[in-house]
Amino acid sequence: MDLQSHRRPSLEDWTPRGYDTEDEYTEALFRYLDRAVAEELDEDDPDVEIELWPDTDEGKPDLLIDDRLALELKVNPNKTERDRCIGQCSAYSREWTWIILIDTPSHVVRELEELLAAKNLNYIELVQFL
C-alpha cells in the first residue's frame, strides 16, 4: 500500500446531517466511526471497540473508544448543559475526553475553551461542527 496516498479517516471528515435530536447525531457519529475504523484496520490489527452510551464507573459518555477516549456530543447546548457537560467530561477520563459541539456559535465555543483552561481541564478537547 502506498502510505503517502493513503489518507486515514478522521473525525473532521464526518459530515453531520440536520438531525432533529442529539441522540440521532450521536448514533450517526457512532455509525461513522465504527465504519471508518472497520475499513481502516487490517486483519492482524488489534480490535478497536467503540461503545454507544456505555455504563462506566464515572457515568455514561455518549461514545467510548477503546476504553480510552470518551466523546460527549452536544447540539447548541445552553449554559446549564455546558456546565453539566464539563462536569461529566472531567469525570470520564483524566487523559482523553472530547466534547463534540454541533451548531454551536463560535463565541460559545470560545467561552467553553476559556472555562476549561481556567479549570485546568486542558485535556478536554473541543471539536466544532457548524
Q: Which three cell numbers stand for residue 80?
A: 446549564
CA atoms within 13 A on the CB side of 73: 20
pLDDT higher than threshold 90 for residue 123: no
Order of strands, edge to edge, in the sheet holding 97-102? Answer: 50-52, 63-65, 69-75, 97-102, 124-129
For 89-99, write each residue's pLDDT tens digit: 888 866 688 99
Task: Tell me what the mean pLDDT of segment 71-79 comes to.
Answer: 95
Q: Give the separation between CA 119 and CA 6, rounded to whole angstroms.
A: 39
For 47-74, write each residue's pLDDT tens digit: 888 999 999 888 899 999 888 889 999 9
Q: Which residue type sits at 37?
A: V
Burial label, 61 (beta-carbon count in 10 A; 0-12, 13-18, 19+): buried
Q: Give the separation between CA 122 and CA 89, rounded to whole angstroms.
A: 11
For 83-121, write each residue's pLDDT tens digit: 999 988 888 866 688 999 999 999 999 999 999 999 999
Among residues of the chain, what percentage have pLDDT more than 70? 86
Of 40, 34, 32, 36, the C-alpha closest to 16 is 32
**pTM of this structure:** 0.84
Q: Which three cell numbers stand for residue 112?
A: 467553553
What is the pLDDT at residue 5?
37
Of 113, 119, 64, 118, the C-alpha closest to 93 is 64
